[in-house]
Structure formats: structure tokens, C-alpha cells
Amino acid sequence: MEQEKFDEAMDLVRPWAEQGDDTSLRYAVTLSHLIEGIDAARVWAQVAQAAGSLYPIVLFALSLEEDGKDEEAQRWYRIAADGGNAGAAAFLGFQAAEHGDLVEARKWFALCLASATAEEVDIVERVQIALSEIGH
């Protein structure tokens, strides 16, 4: 029953996702992972990348992490961050800081601050705190 509902939902979002609609691509990445697995989600992440839609890429990276594919997840986080997703840049910065690579952390934090929108105040505040702790 649940699988049938996922299939129906995917049928609804597919036409818009194929056209590059951001919200539909978010659903397509998530639903395809649930329905068909990570390889199907990767296809939708590639569609999102071609469309310049960054949040579905972050969702795909999260799915990769859940599946234990950390190295590939990092690559997709970098794609999203380089494209201007502040959350992905912050995530990479926090990871770098955690691993002691402060130069890399500062790079990603700077990109986060440059990319952040007014709605991302919480991310900006956390990054500013981290920068004050590691030194500019």
C-alpha cells in the first residue's frame, strides 16, 4: 500500500521535475530513492544539477550519507556549495573544522556567508560563532 502511494506521488511530480521545477525535483530525489534506490535518485540529482536546482542535490547527498556512501556524498555537497547553497557550504566547513583543517573550514564558511540568504540567519549565526572560535 505504501509503495503504491510513493509510486502515485512520483507519477504526479515527474512531469514538473523533468522540466527542472525545484520543488518537484526535491520530491523526485526523495521518492526515487525510496522507490528504486540510490541509483534512481542519482539520475534526479543530475537533472537538478543541470537545472541549477541546489536543494535537491543536498537531499541526494544526505541520502548517500544514509547509505554509507560518504565519499560520493562529499562530492555532491561540494557541487551544491559551489553552486551557492549556504547550508552545504556550512556543512563542509563544519566537517573540515572537525577534522582540524581550518584553512578548508574558513574557505567553506566564507562561501556560506557569501551565499546565505536572509532566511538563513541561523546558519549565518552558527558559522560566525565557528569562525570566532577558530579565528578568522
- Tens-digit pLDDT profile for residues 29-49: 999 999 999 999 999 999 999
Has residue 4 got a pLDDT over 90? no
Q: At what angle do helices 121-134 and 86-98 cross, to 10 degrees?
A: 30
Has residue 1 got a pLDDT over 70? no
Query: What are the sequence ranges of the domains in the chain?
Result: 1-68, 84-136
Q: For the chain, give the number of residues.
A: 136
pLDDT of residue 132: 92
Higher pLDDT, 61 or 118: 61
- Tens-digit pLDDT profile for residues 45-57: 999 999 999 999 9
**Pick from 11, 101, 111, 126: which is nearest to 54 by CA?**
111
- Tens-digit pLDDT profile for residues 63-87: 999 999 999 999 999 999 999 999 9
